[in-house]
Structure 1
């Protein structure tokens, strides 16, 4: 594969944004006390399903992108629509296969996640249910990590709700990233971010690490969202979406710390730095 074609595929699956995915499995596994093998399978499964969703998203939006984002791989002709759809189907199958190698609950959760991803891309994205569907997908992604435990882990439900709430708020902002114009969406996302940070910073296991990660979460998401609320132009709104997406990593680290896996926090925060550097070269939206 040539360098130009490799870059096109990296753009299609939003390569840097994929670094926000493994932390879901880590946070879920910490809450569920899942064994390392099943956590690794959950990471692989969720990465495959994330890439599948990105490829399917651009396949479904190819006509819209030809008008608003002609530089993307499909409208620019660098990747054929059939190849993108085939990649989405193949990656979905791979994600389900990896989950099936774990536990039955992991397979069931991955199946629900895959169904949510396909429903969002093909039907729900441009409806009022779109942000909630995207939030549900992220929540299920965290639960996929918890599903690797030997027993059900109800402790994973609260962090899944927090991840889902943040994601839904940022997704609502993303609806205005082309033309801008909305102050309400970034303001609502700011309020959600503050509420999520407060919930994560409550007393619990490894509270000091959790509070530090919660502060990093706020510092990653809030400034760009505040600028988007102050000046809701397309570029400022896109920057708010990027900040909100990258903020998932310190949020995952905080949730893992609250579940007693504070040692995972430095590793996850390293992913944040890498994602920031790569996002300067390849768009995450």
Structure 2
């Protein structure tokens, strides 16, 4: 089934593939097939003409492959979207960048009741940088205070890891003091040995997730890790067959993060790199596969 152009009401948009952070297992970190670029305001006006914007209720600068904060197109693009009639706008960011004045400008643009910025802050001053690598706590707090102080509506989204789970309630209290309209703690499978279900919005679920996360780790064995790696590799092969190279690369990368001596996954990675003309990197992947499995005839 295909969605007709005139039926589209919601758009998640990556305005840039650049980001100042280096979060582990992010689909952009160490991704050789992702170009570092961004949309210009001319691109925005071409892709989102007035007649298209008029049918949209929501545009979300989602941050899947980059942080909109680093793009020079973000402020004029958001201003344009409102001018063209988009009802509400969201933006996802790590918040560790730009001047306080930039954040105050953003708050003035995102001035509708349902507009908001979601700050991805995964811990406090001593833990946030462990996952949100290359970010700076003091700059994040400056950004938050400038945006909220200028009237912006902000949410705090907190990924729960073993290294920060003891700080959830302290972070929730800080969010209230800073003026966030919402604090959401979410479990994540990143850094975990087994998949963890996402925590819903009910705050009472947090304590249960905290206790279950370590229990799941304790139950993990090399067999479950091997199965997880196999599942990710199977996904990579499926995506490759569909010519969805970005998702194939991400799934293959996950398989190798779980099981680094997975020869078949190194071979698949080599195939992906070869398809994107990264020939030297492809050769290195094939060599690694042969070092692990010398009789690998296909390689």
Asked whether the two chains share a fold, i.e. TM above 0.5, the reply is no
Which structure would you say has the larger Rg? 2
- The TM-score normalised by the length of structure 2 is 0.27
- The TM-score normalised by the length of structure 1 is 0.28
Which structure features the higher share of strand residues? Answer: 2
Which structure features the higher share of helix residues? Answer: 1
